[in-house]
Structure formats: C-alpha cells, structure tokens
Amino acid sequence: MIIETISWSNITPLTQLMVELWPDCLFDEEYENCKTILNKENETCLLVRDQENYIAYINLSIRFDYVEGSDTSPVAYIEGMYVKENYRHFGVGKRLIQLAEDWGKQKGCKQLASDTELTNEASIDFHKKNGFLEVNRIVCFLKEL
C-alpha cells in the first residue's frame, strides 16, 4: 500500500474514485474541484495505491466555522472518503483515519469530524469502530420558492 498526496499525476484517478463514491456527480465537475484542492493550504486529498491501482482516498479540510458537536475551532474534517469494495476490511480505511488524525494535529486541530447519510449503516459502523462518537442526527429540508 502506497500513500500519495494529491498531485497532477493522480488527479484523474482521484476524480474517478470520487465519482464512484458519488455517482450522481459529473467527472468534469469533480475534476475541476480536485484542481482547486491542489492550491489550498487547508485542504488535501490522500490516495492509496496498490501497485498500479488507486483503491481509496480521503479528502480532508480545515473548517473554521461551526462543526456540529465540536467545542473547538478549527476542526479537521473528512469531506469524503472511499475504499473500493474489494479492499474493504483490510485496514485501508483505518489507515486513512490515522493519516487524517496526523494531518489535523499538524494543522493545530484538536478534533476530527465527519458525516454520512442517515441510511449509510456501513459508514456509521465504520466511524464508531474507529473512535468517532455520534453527536447528532438531522433531516434537512428544502422548499422551492
């Protein structure tokens, strides 16, 4: 397992992983989002490569605004994380969480936060097994005007 930081050489496979995680997203739009991460001081992506295949990633940011359940600021935040199905349950996700913790500490954060959909039981279980505490559940609403 090789860990890489986002760069021009891995931006396309990173984008492909993001579209696998969020199939409703467009490749070109996510590619443009990834390009902006390259120049940000308070956001990064880490990718996991198994030989020549990219198998996982984590997108991290530093949030200075309120983070649900947090009592400090800034907070390291997992904006997205994905491990290909065939590589799950081998410690890849756990390793990405450890790297996220290290990155957050280097940025002066005392907490790492994340979120997932209410119905994503696998993600909820993963977070709990990796030391996260559930701090809230919400249902969001939108009304067209």
Q: Which domains does the chain have, with CATH numbers?
A: 2-129 (3.40.630.30)
Q: What is the pLDDT of residues 58-108, one digit of tens each?
A: 999 999 988 888 888 999 999 999 999 999 999 999 999 999 999 999 999
Q: Count Cα atoms within 13 angstroms, Cβ side, for 129.
A: 11
Alpha-carbon distances, residue 74 vs 2, 42, 51 (angstroms): 29, 10, 36
Choose among 51, 145, 48, 60: nearest CA to 111.
60
Please tell me which residue, 30 or 143, carries the higher pLDDT value.
30
Dist. CA 99–CA 59, nearest whole Å: 11
Please calculate the CA angle 84-75-37 and round it to the nearest 5 degrees: 55
Please calculate the CA angle 68-83-48 and round it to the nearest 5 degrees: 105
Q: Tokens in use for 114? A: 């994340």
Q: Is the pLDDT of residue 3 over 80?
A: yes
Dist. CA 14–CA 63, nearest whole Å: 22
The set of residues, in sequence order, having a beta carbon less than 8 Å from that of 55 and lying 6+ positions away, is 48, 49, 83, 84, 86, 87, 92
Question: Are the beta carbons of 45 and 58 closer than 8 angstroms?
Answer: yes
Please tell me which residue, 39 or 97, carries the higher pLDDT value.
97
Q: Looking at residue 49, what is its pLDDT?
A: 96
Q: Looking at residue 25, what is its pLDDT?
A: 93
Rounded to an integer, the average pLDDT of 45-51 is 96
Mean pLDDT estimate for the chain: 93
